[in-house]
Amino acid sequence: MKILRLGFLVALASGFTVILIYITGLSTHYDNYQLSDEDWEALQSLQSDFQKCVSANGLGLQAISGKDYCQVTLTYPSDTDSKWRDPNTGELEGLSFVFNLCEAVATWEQVRNSTTILTREFIDALPNGWEEYAWRRINKGVLLNHCKNKALCMEKLSLVLPETPPYVPRQFGRCAVIGNSGDLLKTRFGKEIDSYDVVLRENGAPIENYTEYVGKKSSFRLLNRGSAKALDKIVELDETRQEVLIIKTTIHDIMSQMIREIPISNPVYLMLDASFGSAAKGTGLKALEFALSVCDSVDMYGFTVDPGYKEWTRYFSESRKGHTPLHGRAYYQMMECLGLIKIHSPMRSDANRVVKWVPSRSTIRAARIASEKWLRRVGAGSEDLLASCSIIKKQVKRKYMSVSRLRKAAVDHQKFVKGTTMYPVEHSSGHGQLCTVPVD
């Protein structure tokens, strides 16, 4: 009996040892990823402020925490009339959407310090960038045989490929992103929109005849493939011909030809195609992504975000097939309650509306660090600036933008990152970045 009991104790003890070794082994390996008490508290405060923010600003939306500290479900009132049907399944769009707050806060905070414009230094620094990446940004990419003929690829991209990023984080102060929703015609936002430092529009959105509603100013225009092929018509929409055109897909031969032959003098760039957030595919979210990477604050107008509005019209044309409108609206509400954007719409038309309960910058910062650890992102929780860089390239910065011309916030950020440029790398495990570091 005694022996048995001893055996049992030994077995217990050795089991314990095994577990101990296992835990220590793990913890030395994943030390950076272990969440401290402060980290858990940060995630808790984020959830709690976030839920209050959604109830206070979401026009009927409610946020409920999910199975862990990161998950949140945004739910519409049960009497919401869902009208959009999935063309594949024929099912009506649901009234609840699950989002991952940790993923959103980690990813979107990273966007604020990244460049989202494709540059030559990026392709050069990407291992096999010219063979494995560049051809995908050219319309007839496949036929280019993975850019085996690098000279041909370079020539095709040359019109839209700056050497280094044309913009830096926080270069602009207050920015407005204007969608194309028909509900823009319900409020005269024109003057208010013109008061922003930078105005970003989308695709074929006209200005003439609508200035009362959409303003006159236009600094950037984000284009999908269809619009990019009609570049000659697009440039006519802005009288000043100074709009910077940003293409979210590929460079097309028709487009290159127009740039050369018409010629089109507006700057044209391609956006990096690393996609942020699960829903960040549509032009609207891409436009917000670009704006967040160059602006201090981002306000949005002309996105269909009010309950009951589901006419899916554009302000300048008849109905157009929308998609997953409730999902989109919930996602934008999440962005507002993470302090990323401010929504303006007919039902939220007071320019001075305060977004109540939006988590403070310090809560967001702490929650971002905790989220990086939770998600095991490269460099999570590290003080080292370059810790999140999975690829580092030393670069002689040629004719780098004269720092004296930049706003103070942008200069401060450049000092903080010591001139480093950060590019998100698509499909990189742990969301590592490609960083170019100036050599001194």
Ligand X SMILES: *[C@@H]1O[C@H](CO)[C@@H](O)[C@H](O)[C@H]1NC(C)=O
Using DSSP, state whether 348 is helix, strand or coil.
strand
CB of 375 to ligand X, least distance (A): 13
Judged by CB under 6 A, does residue 109 bind ligand X? yes
Single out the residue of 417, 414, 392 nearest to residue 403, CA to CA.
Answer: 414
CB of 13 to ligand X, least distance (A): 45
**Cα 305 to the center of its chain, rounded Å:** 18
Of 368 and 373, CB closest to ligand X: 368
Binding span for ligand X by CB under 6 A among 5-13, 108-116, 181-189, 274-282: 108-116
Judged by CB under 6 A, does residue 416 bind ligand X? yes
Q: Report d(CA 134, CA 149) in Å as an integer.
A: 11
Judged by CB under 6 A, does residue 239 bind ligand X? no
Single out the residue of 100, 45, 95 nearest to residue 72, CA to CA.
Answer: 100
Of 111 and 147, CB closest to ligand X: 111
Judged by CB under 6 A, does residue 419 bind ligand X? no
Judged by CB under 6 A, does residue 110 bind ligand X? yes
Q: Looking at 231-368, which runs of residues are DSSP E strands?
A: 244-247, 268-270, 295-301, 313-314, 317-319, 341-343
Of 208 and 426, CB closest to ligand X: 208
Judged by CB under 6 A, does residue 206 bind ligand X? yes
Judged by CB under 6 A, does residue 107 bind ligand X? no
Candidates 113, 171, 187, 203; binder of ligand X (CB under 6 A) is: 113
Whole-number CA gyration radius for the chain: 24
CB of 364 to ligand X, least distance (A): 10
Tell me, what amino acid is at 6? L
CB of 356 to ligand X, least distance (A): 25
Of 89 and 209, CB closest to ligand X: 209
For residue 212, give Cα distances in angstroms to 3, 182, 208, 220: 91, 14, 9, 19
Q: Report d(CA 368, CA 39) in Å as an integer.
A: 9
- Cβ partners under 8 Å of residue 198, min gap 6: 172, 173, 174, 175, 176, 219, 220, 291, 294, 295
Of 221 and 252, CB closest to ligand X: 221
Judged by CB under 6 A, does residue 413 bind ligand X? yes
Judged by CB under 6 A, does residue 188 bind ligand X? no
Binding span for ligand X by CB under 6 A among 46-54, 81-89, 205-213, 395-403: 205-213
Between helices 283-294 and 325-336, what is the axis angle to 10°? Answer: 10
Single out the residue of 409, 137, 86 nearest to residue 247, CA to CA.
Answer: 137
Of 163 and 208, CB closest to ligand X: 208
Angle at 273 between CA 93 and CA 439, to 5 degrees: 145
Candidates 28, 78, 88, 209; binder of ligand X (CB under 6 A) is: 209
Of 227 and 345, CB closest to ligand X: 227
CB of 418 to ligand X, least distance (A): 11
CB of 414 to ligand X, least distance (A): 9
Of 120 and 413, CB closest to ligand X: 413
Q: Quick check: 207 and 237 in contact, CB under 8 A?
A: yes
CB of 109 to ligand X, least distance (A): 4
Of 8 and 416, CB closest to ligand X: 416
Q: For the purposes of burial, counting CB atoms within 10 Å of the CB of 146, is it exposed (0-12), middle (13-18) or buried (19 or more)?
A: middle
Binding span for ligand X by CB under 6 A among 32-40, 84-92, 138-146, 203-211: 203-211
Of 84 and 400, CB closest to ligand X: 400
Judged by CB under 6 A, does residue 208 bind ligand X? yes
Which 351-390 positions form the footprint of ligand X (CB under 6 A)?
368
Tokens of 281: 């595919």
Tokens of 132: 């494995």
Please report, as ranges, the residues that interact with ligand X according to CB under 6 A.
109-110, 113, 206, 208-209, 368, 413, 416
